[in-house]
């Protein structure tokens, strides 16, 4: 089924049109990525509006939508109202999670249709990936794996966190990335106790842990992975914490299969960490959904009540963070299947000492 057909299935008594304003939903519905624009979907027709910077690419790449250009003489509001009139739309479902208050107020004032919040329904189709989407995510993750293997040859004591972050970004693009899933997290030594720490001018030293969390974009889809390595040597305590995180991740992966709730996967990993005496040092969820956004539903965390289905994609990333000392996180990306999961992250996870 085309993604556009999924959107059309939402139309009925509640709404007779959809207003797609986010880049994610426009990309999903048109199956083509344009940085800026607005789309309207109805059973009588679908139109996609963008400006002169993107109109040629949109006209060449977008199918199943009439593509029109907006400009000063033809603002979005005018083009949208023409579509509303032409298609007989009275109520538009919109993505409330992606609009600012100012944008929403402008649409309410300008459009000749009632606006109905439908973010949950519009974004819900993205939870279960189509086979072609999974193929792109697999390719993106393989590129990240390859980038990591190159990064390992570049890490050394004496370089700063910022210098290592630059090397990671270079390797992600060099190996096929079309963008970054997010700004890479690179922390070392005591900074590794910061789950989302920011790279600094701190010099990496012998005896440090270095945590690297990064991902690249491919055709609008994200990869994501984290690895923690040691520089020169690791103490017994460092090895114990690292092994605990690894065993927790393996327990979570073993519990990963369609039919379970996200919180059950989280609990399997969390128990390993708690039993080892580090429960208070694992504050975030075990995993988040991954697709067009690096953080999207569904989630595997203590409140994750979604019953997981085949084709859902999440991270698997437990961690232990000891304030002022060090932290460890290991992250893979998995695809839920009927009888388990497919781990699409292939980089080694045994402790690497450089």
| DSSP secondary structure string for all residues of 191-249 | GGGSTT----SPBP-TT-EEEEEE-EEETTEE--EEEEEESS---HHHHHHHHHHHHHH
255-266: pLDDT as tens digits = 999 999 999 999
Residues 6 or more apart in contact with residue 65 via CB below 8 angstroms? 4, 29, 30, 39, 46, 47, 48
pLDDT at 58 over 90: yes
Backbone dihedral angles phi then psi of residue 204, each to the nearest 5 degrees: -75, 135
From the number of C-beta atoms within 10 Å of its C-beta (0-12, 13-18, 19+), residue 122 rates as buried
pLDDT at 49 over 90: yes
How much of the chain exceeds pLDDT 90, in percent? 99
pLDDT at 13 over 90: no
pLDDT at 1 over 80: no
**234-272 b/e (C-beta count within 10 Å ≥ 16 → b):** beeebebbbebbbbbbbbbbebbbbebbbbbbbbbbbeb
- What domains, with CATH codes, occur in the chain? 3-124 (3.40.350.10), 131-343 (3.90.230.10)
pLDDT at 215 over 80: yes
Q: What DSSP designation does 38 have?
A: E
Predicted local confidence at residue 121, as pLDDT: 97
Predicted local confidence at residue 163, as pLDDT: 98
Handedness of CA 273, 279, 283, 289 (dihedral sign): positive
pLDDT band at 342 (very low <50, low <70, confident <90, very high): very high
Q: Are 125 and 3 in contact (CB under 8 A)?
A: yes
């Amino acid at each position: 089924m085309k993604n556009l057909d999924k959107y059309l299935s939402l139309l009925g008594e509640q709404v007779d049109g959809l207003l797609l304003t986010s880049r994610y939903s426009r990309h999903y519905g048109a199956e083509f990525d344009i940085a800026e624009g607005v789309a309207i979907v109805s059973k009588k027709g679908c139109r996609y509006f963008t400006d002169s910077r993107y109109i040629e690419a949109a006209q060449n790449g977008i199918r199943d939508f009439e593509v029109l250009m907006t400009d000063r003489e033809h603002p979005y509001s005018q083009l949208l109202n023409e579509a509303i009139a032409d298609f007989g739309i009275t109520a538009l479902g919109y993505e409330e999670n992606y609009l600012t208050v100012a944008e929403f107020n402008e649409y309410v004032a300008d459009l000749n249709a009632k606006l109905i919040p439908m973010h949950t329904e519009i974004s819900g189709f993205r939870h279960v990936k189509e086979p072609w989407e999974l193929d792109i995510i697999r390719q993106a993750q393989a590129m990240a794996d390859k980038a990591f293997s190159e990064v390992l040859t570049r890490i050394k004591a004496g370089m700063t966190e910022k210098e290592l972050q630059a090397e990671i970004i270079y390797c992600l693009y060099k190996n096929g990335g079309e963008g970054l899933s997010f700004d890479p997290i690179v922390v070392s030594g005591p900074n590794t106790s910061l789950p989302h720490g920011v790279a600094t001018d701190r010099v990496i030293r012998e005896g440090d842990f270095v945590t690297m969390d990064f991902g690249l974009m491919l055709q609008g889809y994200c990869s994501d992975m984290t690895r923690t390595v040691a520089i020169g040597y690791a103490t017994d305590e460092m090895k114990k914490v690292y092994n605990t995180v690894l065993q927790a991740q393996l327990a979570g992966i073993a519990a990963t299969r369609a039919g379970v709730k996200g919180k059950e996967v989280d609990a399997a990993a969390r128990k390993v960490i708690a039993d080892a005496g580090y429960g208070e040092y694992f504050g975030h969820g075990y995993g988040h959904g991954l697709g067009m956004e690096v953080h999207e539903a569904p989630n595997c965390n203590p409140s994750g009540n979604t019953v997981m289905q085949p084709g859902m994609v999440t991270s698997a990333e437990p961690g232990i963070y000891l304030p002022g000392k060090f932290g460890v996180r290991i992250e893979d990306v998995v695809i839920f299947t009927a009888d388990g999961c497919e781990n699409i992250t292939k980089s080694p996870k045994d402790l690497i000492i450089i």
